[in-house]
A and B are shown apart, each in its own frame.
Chain A
Amino acid sequence: MKLKKYSLFILTAASLLGGSCKLSVVNPNAASDQQVLGTSSGIIALSIGIRQTYSTTGLTNLMVSPDVTAREIKGVATFTNVIALELGGSNVTPDGNVLSYWSSMQTVMSMCESVINSAPKVTGLDAGTLSGVMGQAYLFKAMCLAELAMAYPEADLNTSTTTPVTFAPRDQVFARAIGLLDSAVTAITANAPSATFQSSVAGPDFDLVNTIYAMEARINLMAGNNQVALTNANKVNLTATSKFDYSSLTPNPLYTTYTITKSYFPRIHFGLPDSLYYAGDKRIAFYMTTPTQIINGDTIGTMAGFCTSQTGSIPVYTPDEVRLIQAEAILRLGGDLNQALTLINAVRTQTAGDPFGVNAGLPPYSGTVDYPSLLEEVYKQRCAELYLSGLKWEDTRRFNRPAPPANSSERNRIYYPYPTQERINNPNTPADPNI
């Protein structure tokens, strides 16, 4: 039967035609948002991603641009953004740096918001793991908001892919960050982070609980809530440490910046005027080494500290920062001067045993014991102890240090301008600060 033969031919052709095709092809290279946000394994992976992004892209910005602005390091490369950042003042805009700073914080915030919104909805996370990932997401979003408020007079409280975000003044941004940290405390208090959280998200060196209290202390101090700062600082276990860890696949960003690309170098004596540092301070040798060279009249050294190895860790906060927060809060609250002095001396006289090797090796404080003198001593100790942490720029505001354009010795800008890319695409972007 020919008809049968024809039919066979057509049926064969038609089945070959339809034989291979599906239209929903799974991407084998990468997970999509539904796959990440709808599963417990995705939430755990994204929680690691939050910390990875903050500790690499984030720190590349937080620990570099504000350090240039606060005169701790010097930009030497001839790229236009480096020149503009180093020059400071109101005439130049380091747009590349401010875009990178702004965007990296927004990216981490958006990842935190994804975890905060999705983690409670997925199945398969035990209570202690859920409280851990929620606590970590609240923590990092709070840190991002604080970093934005440290560089801008106004910032967004949330990211949004749908509508252009609105901006809130920096005191409200700090308040929101503190609110998030309070949520973190509530979460970890209700259910202590589990062993699963520690092994599958935090790893051996990141201490979530102490970091939350340390950030409560740090950000409340910036916001002027000295009592709350003190209360939370007292909750931090000063024998514990919390670190960002690196590997050859995720290298230490400071190592890359200061040892490979070499666009920036440390100013000798932490870039401080003679009146603000102590000659015998052993922390100078910890943070920088030889050779030194003179570029455009400034003496610069070679970076050491937490930048010497591709896989070396960076502290999230240090116990000595917590001591200095306690001292500063006590002073600002009008508390016991001797109690503050004891804390200051604990930092000054340390000769060994600092968990991060940052030992000042100075004699005990011998100056006038009064409120303004001790407060200035706290500032000096912070400048040395917390060198390169990105905190000095904010400290210059809180300690009312000399300001540009009149005096650029301790900072060359008050705030950063908003990145052009935000301004072009978001009509709510506020006017740039004057300087």
Chain B
Amino acid sequence: MIHLSPKLTKVTHGLVVLALLFLWQTSFAQDHQTIKGVITDARNKEPLAGATIRLEGTNYATTADLQGAYTLNATVKDGTYTLTISYTGYKPFTKSVTLDQKAVTVSTALTVDALSLGEVVVTGTTVAVTKKQLGNAISTVSGKELTQGLATSVDQALAGKVAGAEVSQNSGNPDGGISVRLRGNSTISGSSDPLYIIDGVIVNNNSDQLIDLGGYTENRLADINPADIDHIEVIKGAAGAAIYGSRASNGVVQIFTKKGRSGEPTVTVSTDFRQNSLRKKVAYNTYPFVFANTNVNDQTKIPVTRYDLQDQIFAKAGGTDDNVSVSGGNDNTQYYVSAGYLFNGGIVKSTDFQRGTARARVDTRLNDWLKATVGFTYIYDAANQMPNGGINQQYGALTGFIFGNNFINPYPNATTGVYPTLSPAGLQRTNPLEAIARFKFRENTSRFIGNITLSATPVKNLSINYTLGYDNSTELGTGYIPIGNTTPTYNTGFSSRADKIALLLNNDLTVAYKTHIGDRFESSTAIGGTVQTAVSNTDVVTGTQLSPVSQISSGAATIATAESRSTLNIMGLYAQQTFGYMNKIYLTGAIRNDVASSFGINDRWQYYPKLSGTYLLSEESFWKKSRLASLIPDLKLRASYGQNGNLTAIGPFDRFTNYSSISLPGLPGLASPTQLGNADVKPERQTEKEIGIDASFLHNRLGFEFSWYDKSVKDLLLPVTLRPSTGYSTQYQNIGDMTNKGIELLVRGIPIQTAGFKWDVTAIFNSYRNKVFNIPGHVVTFPNGFGEVAAVEGYPLGSYYATYAARNPNGSLLLTPGGLPQLEKSGRDANGQPTGSPLTKVIGDANPKWTGSLTNELEIGKNWSFRMQWDFSYGNKLFDFTRRVGDRDIYGGLAGYMPELEGKVPKGYSAAIYSAFDFWIDNGSYAKLRELSASYMLHWRVLGNKPVRISVYGRNLFAITNYPGWDPETNAAGQSTAVRGFDFVEVPIPRTLGLGLNYTF
């Protein structure tokens, strides 16, 4: 069934006609040509295995083998061509070659380039261009950088490696979710994570809460094996990503997988063993007495034994990451096949994450004008989880820890096996030891990602690309709490099963043509179209009141089910034109027209323009002739402007008034929903302006990349509260605005470079200010921050907004006559005491003032290499609910309650400050030793001349911070866009040590 919109049909026809016009004037004589050579590093004459050799204007390319040697066989007609040899981090080498069916030899030694302006990128441009032509900043990360720090997922590995990116691991669980923010938030209602594309496939990065785990969820990028990745390109905002249209408002992360090279089969085997451990315990209450009663005037105490529950909850856990790949091929067909297995043990007992991946990629030349790439990845992963935190449900293990009294013996009764309740009367929470011993929460994902890409080069400089991307995942979450337990709500047992099947499909067609106009001008033109669909089906079955032994939901006395299905269709068309002048000025303009089925019919089609320019001052002849050329060999000024949209802020059917299906006995019916539809909703629209300067000094040994951006989002979609007299309660409206203004800076230097020693330093600095405006009623609070986190007019998104302590004009606490702190209220009574209703205000901000990283890499001799990466965050505040609960009298498990027991503060103090939330805002600034590694290349005679790389790794070894909790990085609200820095007993990020071996033969 084809339901093509008339508009798209017209444009598709247009594309076909245009492509045919190009073909019409073609002659087809083709000849066999051979180019070969050896590529080395100019510093130490070592071979540069993996260097890319491309014949420009054709789709012929190859890579250098382990000895740096290459042979490029091409079937193109005789003539003069440009050969480009490039390698990440090195200055590319270009040479004009004349091909006349005689073998040509081109060998070269590449020199390092701190700025990498010659690096070739494709994201945001569709055709390969060097970075120097771009008007916007683009970051690249090599696959090697991702696998040197024990990271288990791609997004985790990106931390500290991309200017303008803020990567936060929200949970220290072995499958804990990760948030990536490129230049700050771009929405309130939707996800703020970027669009991920793997080999042209738009992939699912949902954070689906199948079973309530207290806030934390996996994000589906956890399925991708970092070992399969060749390199990553990151575009941070609309100025660069406009051609991705309405899915790119949070930026684009494009991932390229490893591919085979022609030659003998190459096998790489790698393995590592790792150990995760709790980096730091929180200080707990060790005072051996409790108060006999709650009367503030009675200091009577009773002796008790205090237990260290953290010792019983946390443990060291092992892990392993094993990968094997085989690659090879001939001139026409190359293959890369890999398999990986990860086991990552959790520091909370009974938790782990396992992932098996299998990947095959085949690149084949069907004939002299057509190439095909086929990639298949199958992933199966399984997690044993432990509910923690507790935004909605209170059955979590750490929830039980913080609400528990640590003076009660937590162990089960020796004869009955029944666990005692640790929490105070009337506030039942789970005994954490019981949760660890008896709960079973699991999540399994089976996922297939496939792509087929066809690239045609019917004429020199004309390329036509078609990609079909397919990503289907089946997630299954199960939760089981046996009968007779200490949970607050499920002591008769709980079993839940939730399934989600999610399919993403994208079709992309691009036609690109590059040409020179006279001697001075060059032009590259691209037009393209895309058709995408996202389908999902979700089922949840929850049973309570279980029969004994049975762990399944259908074995329950009370069963509730829920099902939902959704389909989102997207189409888009774009055209992009770049003009270059004398290799020094480049101007690019693009326009994209997008449509999505989730929006109202009137505003469905949206245009997203882009304009950018770059000026390479160092290419001017006056510059080249002056002394400046040796001092500042590269100087580039750039500016860009672009817009794009957001499709994911609302669900596919949120614009309708969706009647609820209800029933009376035997009578199915429909009832009005609480949410009123809005037929006129349209995508949020982001406008980004960016200007930047790139420069290199000291013979390219010091590179400097600076960008300033102003990213604003209009027509934010918010669930607006309605007058009840409408008959409804909320409605999605395009109402708010948001701005992010900031800078990002990357400095890379190579202070020492000799044949036997190289020292490489990279520093990244990011800083931005986020603000929201036109918020209806000035405040919108978020339930997953207990209503204490809000979007407040004129403040950053995610500001903490709550009641606070009353203070005197000099800032000191205004105490009650009894000497206790108290809440600020709307007025003062005759005695100067607060009276009226409690006031709320902004009391803190989750957003850091700046973030950054500092990476040092050393290469010593031929065999030793070292790497150290520090990540920094400054000025971010955390909402420390963990301490708030643990320091309070009735729970009292943390050390913060001890002063009250010791008589250093009045009895009743902790209860008095419980709702004065400004007491619970903590400084979360930190410096973390994120990654540390040392590698040695072991040459063993029995292994021939192929060395074994032996490495020791460390991750999150050490942190410098004043934060009193476990970890200033985590967030109990998971990957929530608005609620950040919310510490409510989230599992801390472990310290990890590892030993790895890697051998290629």
Contacts of B673 in A (CB 8 A): 30
Selected from B595, B665, B671, B728, the residue in CB contact (under 8 A) with A49 is B671
Query: Contact: A25 with B597, CB < 8 Å?
Result: yes
In angstroms, how far is the closest chain B Cβ from the Cβ of A274? 34
Query: Contact: B728 with A110, CB < 8 Å?
Result: yes
Residue B677 at the A interface, CB < 8 A? yes
Residues of chain A from 345 to 403 with CB closer than 8 A to chain B in the complex: none
Contacts of B601 in A (CB 8 A): 24
Contacts of B671 in A (CB 8 A): 46, 49-50, 52-53, 111
CB nearest neighbor in B for A244:
B664
Q: How far is the CA of A48 from the CA of B669 in the complex (A)?
A: 5
Residue A164 at the B interface, CB < 8 A? yes
Q: How many A-B residue pairs have CB under 8 A?
A: 226
Residues of chain B from 839 to 863 with CB closer than 8 A to chain A in the complex: none
Contacts of B567 in A (CB 8 A): 25
Of B111-119, B652-660, B782-790, the segment with at least 4 beta carbons within 8 Å of chain A is: B652-660
Contacts of B727 in A (CB 8 A): 106-107, 109-111, 113, 159, 161
Q: How far is the CA of A36 from the CA of B656 in the complex (A)?
A: 12
Query: Contact: A29 with B16, CB < 8 Å?
Result: no
Query: Contact: A422 with B725, CB < 8 Å?
Result: yes
Residue B568 at the A interface, CB < 8 A? yes
Of A2-10, A63-71, A336-344, the segment with at least 4 beta carbons within 8 Å of chain B is: A2-10
Please give the number of chain B residues whose Cβ is less than 8 angstroms from any Cβ of chain A in the complex: 79
Residues of chain A from 5 to 47 with CB closer than 8 A to chain B in the complex: 6-7, 9-11, 13-25, 27-33, 36, 42, 44-47
Residues of chain B from 661 to 698 with CB closer than 8 A to chain A in the complex: 661-674, 676-677
In angstroms, how far is the closest chain A Cβ from the Cβ of B837? 9
Contacts of B509 in A (CB 8 A): 13-14, 17
Residue B66 at the A interface, CB < 8 A? no
Query: Contact: A203 with B664, CB < 8 Å?
Result: yes
In angstroms, how far is the closest chain B Cβ from the Cβ of A143? 15
Query: Contact: A200 with B653, CB < 8 Å?
Result: no
The contact string, 1 if C-beta is below 8 Å from chain B, for chain A 51-69, is 1110100000000000000
Of A226-234, A245-253, A323-331, the segment with at least 4 beta carbons within 8 Å of chain B is: A245-253
Query: Contact: A9 with B670, CB < 8 Å?
Result: no
Given A29-B564, A31-B658, is A10 in contact with B20 using a C-beta cutoff of 8 Å?
yes
In angstroms, how far is the closest chain A Cβ from the Cβ of B780? 13
Query: Contact: A52 with B529, CB < 8 Å?
Result: no
Given A22-B597, A23-B595, is A16 in contact with B466 using a C-beta cutoff of 8 Å?
yes
Q: Tell me what chain A mostly uses at the interface: helix, strand, loop, or mixed.
A: helix
CB nearest neighbor in A for B727:
A110
Given A16-B466, A102-B724, is A46 in contact with B665 using a C-beta cutoff of 8 Å?
no
Residues of chain A from 278 to 319 with CB closer than 8 A to chain B in the complex: 311
Residue A407 at the B interface, CB < 8 A? no
Q: How far is the CA of A103 from the CA of B676 in the complex (A)?
A: 14
Please give the number of chain A residues whose Cβ is less than 8 angstroms from any Cβ of chain B in the complex: 71
Residues of chain A from 76 to 111 with CB closer than 8 A to chain B in the complex: 99, 102-103, 106-107, 109-111
Q: How far is the CA of A143 from the CA of B757 in the complex (A)?
A: 88
Of B7-15, B126-134, B136-144, B700-708, the segment with at least 4 beta carbons within 8 Å of chain A is: B7-15
Query: Contact: A25 with B454, CB < 8 Å?
Result: no
Contacts of A27 in B (CB 8 A): 652-653, 656, 658
Residue A424 at the B interface, CB < 8 A? yes
In angstroms, how far is the closest chain A Cβ from the Cβ of B779? 11
Q: How far is the CA of A19 from the CA of B671 in the complex (A)?
A: 37
CB nearest neighbor in A for B563:
A29
Q: How far is the CA of A159 from the CA of B686 in the complex (A)?
A: 36
CB nearest neighbor in A for B724:
A103
Query: Contact: B725 with A426, CB < 8 Å?
Result: yes
Query: Contact: A49 with B670, CB < 8 Å?
Result: yes
Given A29-B658, A159-B727, is A10 in contact with B597 using a C-beta cutoff of 8 Å?
no
Residue A123 at the B interface, CB < 8 A? no
Contacts of B24 in A (CB 8 A): 3
Q: How far is the CA of A349 from the CA of B725 in the complex (A)?
A: 45
The contact string, 1 if C-beta is below 8 Å from chain A, for chain B 518-535, is 000000000001110100
Residues of chain B from 87 to 120 with CB closer than 8 A to chain A in the complex: none
Q: How far is the CA of A245 from the CA of B458 in the complex (A)?
A: 73
Query: Contact: A33 with B677, CB < 8 Å?
Result: yes
Query: Contact: A19 with B2, CB < 8 Å?
Result: yes
A161, A245, A311, A421 interface centre (most CB from chain B within 10 Å):
A161
Residue A189 at the B interface, CB < 8 A? no
Query: Contact: A21 with B721, CB < 8 Å?
Result: no
Contacts of B568 in A (CB 8 A): 25
Residues of chain B from 432 to 483 with CB closer than 8 A to chain A in the complex: 454, 456, 458, 464, 466, 468
In angstroms, how far is the closest chain A Cβ from the Cβ of B756? 53
Contacts of A103 in B (CB 8 A): 724, 729
CB nearest neighbor in B for A425:
B723
Selected from B3, B665, B668, the residue in CB contact (under 8 A) with A22 is B3
CB nearest neighbor in B for A46:
B670
Query: Contact: A42 with B456, CB < 8 Å?
Result: no
Query: Contact: A18 with B9, CB < 8 Å?
Result: yes
Residue B507 at the A interface, CB < 8 A? yes
Residue B939 at the A interface, CB < 8 A? no
In angstroms, how far is the closest chain B Cβ from the Cβ of A384? 30
Q: How far is the CA of A33 from the CA of B657 in the complex (A)?
A: 6
CB nearest neighbor in A for B729:
A103
Contacts of A128 in B (CB 8 A): none
Residue A419 at the B interface, CB < 8 A? yes
Selected from B28, B596, B729, the residue in CB contact (under 8 A) with A2 is B28
In angstroms, how far is the closest chain B Cβ from the Cβ of A271? 26
Query: Contact: A48 with B667, CB < 8 Å?
Result: yes
Residue A435 at the B interface, CB < 8 A? no
Residue B301 at the A interface, CB < 8 A? no
Q: How far is the CA of A240 from the CA of B529 in the complex (A)?
A: 68
CB nearest neighbor in A for B18:
A10
Query: Contact: A245 with B664, CB < 8 Å?
Result: yes
Residue B820 at the A interface, CB < 8 A? no
In angstroms, how far is the closest chain B Cβ from the Cβ of A255? 14
Residue B569 at the A interface, CB < 8 A? yes
Q: How far is the CA of A278 from the CA of B596 in the complex (A)?
A: 69
Given A30-B659, A32-B656, A49-B669, is A106 in contact with B664 using a C-beta cutoff of 8 Å?
no
CB nearest neighbor in B for A200:
B667
Query: Contact: A32 with B2, CB < 8 Å?
Result: no
Contacts of A203 in B (CB 8 A): 664-667
The contact string, 1 if C-beta is below 8 Å from chain A, for chain B 702-735, is 0000000000000000000111111111000000
Given A14-B15, A27-B653, A46-B669, is A165 in contact with B723 using a C-beta cutoff of 8 Å?
yes
Given A13-B466, A106-B725, A426-B723, is A32 in contact with B657 using a C-beta cutoff of 8 Å?
yes
Contacts of A48 in B (CB 8 A): 662-664, 667-670
Given A3-B24, A9-B370, is A247 in contact with B4 using a C-beta cutoff of 8 Å?
no
In angstroms, how far is the closest chain B Cβ from the Cβ of A92? 10
Residue B23 at the A interface, CB < 8 A? yes
Contacts of B725 in A (CB 8 A): 106, 156, 159-160, 164-165, 422, 426
The contact string, 1 if C-beta is below 8 Å from chain A, for chain B 231-258, is 0000000000000000000000000000
Query: Contact: B661 with A30, CB < 8 Å?
Result: yes
Selected from B507, B571, B660, B724, the residue in CB contact (under 8 A) with A419 is B724
Residues of chain B from 589 to 613 with CB closer than 8 A to chain A in the complex: 595-597, 601, 604
Query: Contact: A250 with B664, CB < 8 Å?
Result: yes
Residue A181 at the B interface, CB < 8 A? no
Given A110-B726, A247-B665, A426-B723, is A18 in contact with B656 using a C-beta cutoff of 8 Å?
no
Given A6-B23, A17-B12, A21-B531, is A246 in contact with B722 using a C-beta cutoff of 8 Å?
no
Closest 8 CB pairs of A and B: A110-B727, A48-B669, A49-B671, A22-B3, A30-B658, A13-B466, A103-B724, A425-B723
Contacts A45-B670, A250-B665, A422-B725 supplied; 17 other A-B pairs, CB < 8 Å: A6-B369, A10-B20, A14-B509, A18-B12, A30-B661, A32-B659, A45-B668, A45-B669, A49-B659, A51-B664, A53-B671, A106-B726, A107-B728, A111-B672, A203-B664, A425-B722, A425-B723
A–B complex contacts, Cβ < 8 Å, 5 sampled: A19-B507, A21-B531, A33-B677, A160-B726, A250-B662
